[in-house]
Structure 1
Amino acid sequence: MGKYIVGIDLGGTSAKMAIASPDGQLKYKWTIGTEIHQEGQLIVPAIIQSIKRSLAEHDLTDQDIIGIGMGTPGAVDVKAKTVIGAYNLNWKTTQDLGQQFGQAFDIPFFVDNDANVAALGEQWLGAGNGAENVVMVTLGTGIGGGVVINGQLYRGSGAAGEIGHMTIEDHTDIHCTCGKKGCFEALASANGIVRLAKEMVDQDEGNIDHSEFYEKVVQDQTFTSFDIFEAAKAIDGFASQVVDKVAYYIGLGVSHIANILNPSAIVLGGGMAGAGEFLREKVDAYYREFTYQQIRETTQIVLAQLGNDAGVIGAVNLINTEIK
């Protein structure tokens, strides 16, 4: 009978992996680079060889492993164990991950979208504190989400949790990568906040602060979402106005989730959540404006706690939820 689980968190630059106990204790952790050349065809073989090497180093065989769980970018067919459209991995065609892992190991293999898997991690051992109903919102280059209901990922007809494409502003010219205007992702992601700052300058009607950061945008200097938050923390007037607008959009977006699902917690994760309480408090203030009392009292807005381990821990929990 197996006693360990292998978790994989696949990203565009690296694959984080761990051998863990079923209760989520990461016994051995390691990382390899993601080789995206040759249409990403080297990625899975490298992961498989790395796992084989690690098992051998720790005197483990396939029989010692309960399952291998994996989170990956792209559109995942959970039943077929395939993924397509992971463009940061250079996977333009369907990748049959189940077949590749099935040929390499005599171990059950399960895969899901990386945002879903991270949500499973935070729900289990992170900010969700083991509550059965938790939603995670990943605020990064884009905006993703994972919905956990009754301790299980809710996948809908295959695309549940794509909260980044909720329309939250119908009077804007900011386009999303999906082709629509006014998407949550287009306005409130790390890329979105940069575009928003530029739009606010372009549409300046004299109601925004002509601060030092404003002049930086006017001069078309390069800046990132991190720069905006740092300037806002330093009380730059224009940067503060941009952050306030983004907090409004995030508060509005998560209020829709809360009003519909009423989870115990909505977890804010991803790179932008690194702004910490500075951002969470502003988001929470708007969230409370857009929800009614019972929702406000039962659904909390919290910050992710697992950091870079969320994906790996979630991949371990994926096995727990799939293998009973």
Structure 2
Amino acid sequence: MSEKWIVGVDLGGTTTKIAFIDIDGELLHKWEIPTDNSNEGQNITINIANAIDQKLVELKEQKTKLIGIGMGAPGPMNYDSGVVLNVVNLGWKDNFPLQESLHTLTALPVVIENDANCAALGEMWNGAGKGTNDLVCVTLGTGVGGGVIANGNIVRGINGAAGEIGHITSIPFGGAPCNCGKSGCLETIASATGIVRQAENELSKADVKGPLATIFAENRKVTAKDVFDCARNGDEVAKKIIDEVAFHLGFALANIANTLNPQMIVLGGGVSRAGDILLDTVKVNFSMFAFSAVRESTNLALATLGNDAGVIGAGWLIKNKLNI
């Protein structure tokens, strides 16, 4: 076990994950606290600071054991000042000085980063992308998020919007509306929400048969997991939907790879738990559209850290900042 510990924090709208991590990226202790967004979010950093102190008491450790706090947070932010810009679901209606607040409360160095970027950093440091410096992480959940790492550094873009892979246009005309205000985004197809929408559209047609149709008839709804489970059992409707998802995902990832030539593309999030039935078909489409030199050098893999990716990547922020 390492002499010193890093604190990793993954701030979510409902819960906040906190972990003590060694300098090799191994989780030593992890726990969660509720995210209290009352009082315009003023309690969030207070509760995190208190939770860290309480855990040290519980473990009979001194605060000198800790070398810093890395934190992933949702929403846009000013990376120079550590200010998070207007995240309403956390109660922060105006710019909130997240980095300064947590530093003042803990007297520890604090680095903040977008939560999707932290997940990418976690997979790079100690997950599926361990040992790589050029990596793209795509999170397939309720939406589609992404993080891009080039030469070991997060690519943020001019106003922090780089890596918004979910908003690549997949269907230029007549696509489903997206929460971002556009239509036809990759997110409307490859997210869990998009998969359910496509499934329910197909199942609403007359004379559709099969296990997925039976689930829909009984419950008047299906889940993305239902689609993948039924596809494994040969359901034609489910297989058609997965083929559509894998086509658009493979096409988009090939174009990303043609631009960035990463060593690895990692697929994470709840949808990625479908496993090989999704990954194998994505790989076929990726190979079809990737430039030959890219096709031979970029590996597609499933994420390995699950819900721990965010806190581990947040810990990497401190390791990198302090050059440990």
Q: TM-score, normalised by structure 2?
A: 0.91
Query: What's the counterpart of residue 320 of structure 1?
Result: 319
Q: 1:17 to 1:234 in 2, by over 3 A?
A: same
Matches within 5 A, 1:1-324: 3-157=4-158, 158-200=160-202, 210-214=209-213, 217=216, 221-324=220-323
Q: In 2 relative to 1, CA 287–215 (structure 1 residues): closer, same or farther, beyond 3 Å? A: same
Which shows bigger deviation, 286-295 or 55-64? 55-64
Distance 1:190 1:38, change over 3 A: farther
- Residues 187 and 299 of structure 1: CA distance in aligned 2, closer, same or farther (over 3 Å): same
Contact 2:200-2:221 at 8 Å conserved across structures: no
Determine helix, strand or coil for the equivalent of 2:9.
strand
Between 91-100 and 167-176, the greater mean CA deviation after superposition: 91-100
Equivalent pair of 1:69/1:109 in contact (CA under 8 Å): yes
CA 1:37–1:244 in structure 2 vs 1: closer, same or farther (change >3 Å)? farther
2:251 match: secondary structure: helix
- One-letter amino acid of the counterpart of residue 298, structure 1: S
> Once the 2 structures are TM-superposed, how far is the Cα of residue 92 of structure 1 from its aligned partner?
4.0
* CA RMSD, Structure 1 to Structure 2 (Å): 2.2
Cα deviation, 1:236-257, whole Å, max 9, x if unaligned, reads: 1111111111111111111111
Question: Which deviates the most, 171-180 or 264-273?
Answer: 171-180
Equivalent-residue separation in structure 2 for 1:65 and 1:118 (angstroms): 22
The answer to whether the 8 Å contact 1:264/1:298 transfers is: yes
Aligned equivalents of 1:123, 1:296: Cα separation in 2: 20
1:110 and 1:126 map into 2 onto residues whose CA distance is 21
Which moves more between the two structures, 11-20 or 296-305? 11-20
Q: Which amino acid aligns with 2:165?
A: I
Change (3 A) 1:184 1:105: same
The more displaced of 93-102 and 31-40 is 31-40
Residues 2-29 of structure 1: per-residue CA shift (max 9 Å, x gap): 8221011122332111112111122222
Deviation at 1:317, TM superposition (A): 0.8
Q: Are the structure 2 counterparts of residues 132 and 211 from structure 1 closer, same or farther at C-alpha, using a change threshold of 3 Å? A: same
Residues 7 and 20, structure 2, Cα contact 8 Å, conserved in 1 = yes
- The TM-score with structure 1 as length reference comes to 0.91
Aligned residues of 1:122 and 1:128 also touching (Cα < 8 A): yes
Percent of aligned positions that are identical: 43
Superposition deviation, residue 39 in structure 1: 4.3
After the TM superposition, which of the residue ranges 114-123 and 85-94 deviates more from structure 2?
85-94
Question: Over residues 93-129 of structure 1, what are the superposed CA-to-partner deviations in whole Å (9 max), with x where a residue is unaligned?
Answer: 3322112112212211011111100100101111112
Tell me: CA distance 1:238–1:84, structure 2 relative to 1, closer, same or farther (3 Å). same
The structural deviation recorded for 1:79 is 1.6
Q: Secondary structure at the match of 2:136?
A: strand
Looking at structure 2, the residues matched to 323 and 70 of structure 1 have their Cα atoms a distance apart, in angstroms, of 15
User: Would the alpha carbon gap of residues 316 and 214 (structure 1) be closer, same or farther in structure 2, given more than 3 Å must change?
Assistant: same
User: What is the CA distance between 1:137 and its match in structure 2?
Assistant: 0.3
For residues 280 and 108 of structure 1, do their structure 2 counterparts lie closer, same or farther at Cα, with a shift above 3 Å needed?
Answer: same
